[in-house]
Amino acid sequence: MIPIKTAKEIDKMRIAGRATGEVLGRVAALVQPGVTTKELDEAAAQFIAETGGRSAFLGYHGYPGNICISVNEEVVHGIAGGRKVQYGDIVKLDVGVIKSGFVGDTATTVPAGLVDPAVQKLLEISEESLRVAISHALAGGRLGDICASVEETVAAHGFTVVREFVGHGVGRKLHEEPQVPNYGKPRTGPRLKPGMTLAIEPMVNLGVCDVRILEDGWTVVTADGKPSAHFEHTVLITEGEPEILTWREKTQLK
């Protein structure tokens, strides 16, 4: 069963979502050549504490970081360490905050300076695929409409979607029903209803769709070593337009 949130629960999801978006924006603003992923993770811990919430990831199935930080060919679930961000890298930041008993989950991909034009295109199309997917998060529609739209947007530009990892329902728990793959068939799957809250999260590869997991047991990397992008929002289905619960001001660049 896909949980339907009550009005009170939705208010709490809004509180959690707003905090999560704020943390992501603040960490994203710190991405620059020379910063270590550990420094970003420690800053995130501080920002999360300032919201009055706590990390939804730290300790989740033993995950050791406050947020997930994944660089270049790392797709998702990267663990912070001594690696220094270099000019031209892309840095995926994925933040989950538990506040008022509910979880917000949101991610973005930040370029460190100017990146290769093909990588810039990857970022633009990946973010666009999230925008289009959210536009399908409509009551009366079907889950497959959201899923199919991601792959359609991405494939039109020659990029591929990761199939082993998927978006998900989100609420009192980080991962709830349903699974939200970045591929599927339009007009199939469960009906979307007001009060459903979904983490929609395209993971898009420049090269092949295949991925593998590093020896740390967490870090997902592309099989061909080419870059990957990730964008994610927690979205509420309403009677009308979808509501992006993790919305934030565009990251301020220094």
Interacting residue ranges for ligand MF3, rule: CB under 6 A: 57, 60-61, 63, 68, 77, 94, 96, 105, 168, 199, 201, 232
Paired tokens of 212: 């593998």
Rank residues 89 and 232 by Cβ distance to ligand MF3 and give the closer one.
232
Considering only residues 160 to 199 of the shown chain, the ones binding Co ion according to CB under 5 A are 199
Least CB distance to Co ion at residue 98 (A): 13
231 makes contact, choosing from ligand MF3, Co ion, none, with CB < 5 to 8 Å by partner type, with none
Least CB distance to ligand MF3 at residue 175 (A): 6
Provide DSSP, 6-69: -HHHHHHHHHHHHHHHHHHHHHHTT--TT-BHHHHHHHHHHHHHHHT-EESSTTGGG---SSEE
Rank residues 74 and 232 by Cβ distance to Co ion and give the closer one.
232
- Whose tokens are 């983490």? That residue is 199
Least CB distance to ligand MF3 at residue 94 (A): 4
The CB-nearest residue to Co ion is: 199
> Do 243 and 144 form a contact (C-beta atoms < 8 A)?
no
Considering only residues 208 to 237 of the shown chain, the ones binding Co ion according to CB under 5 A are 232
C-alpha 132/C-alpha 154 separation (Å) is 11
Helix (H, G, I), strand (E, B) or coil at 199: strand
Least CB distance to Co ion at residue 94 (A): 4
Q: Does 94 bind Co ion (CB under 5 A)?
A: yes
C-alpha 160/C-alpha 174 separation (Å) is 26
- Decide: residue 159, CB within 10 A, 0-12 exposed, 13-18 middle, 19+ buried: buried
Residues that bind Co ion (CB under 5 A): 94, 105, 107, 199, 201, 232
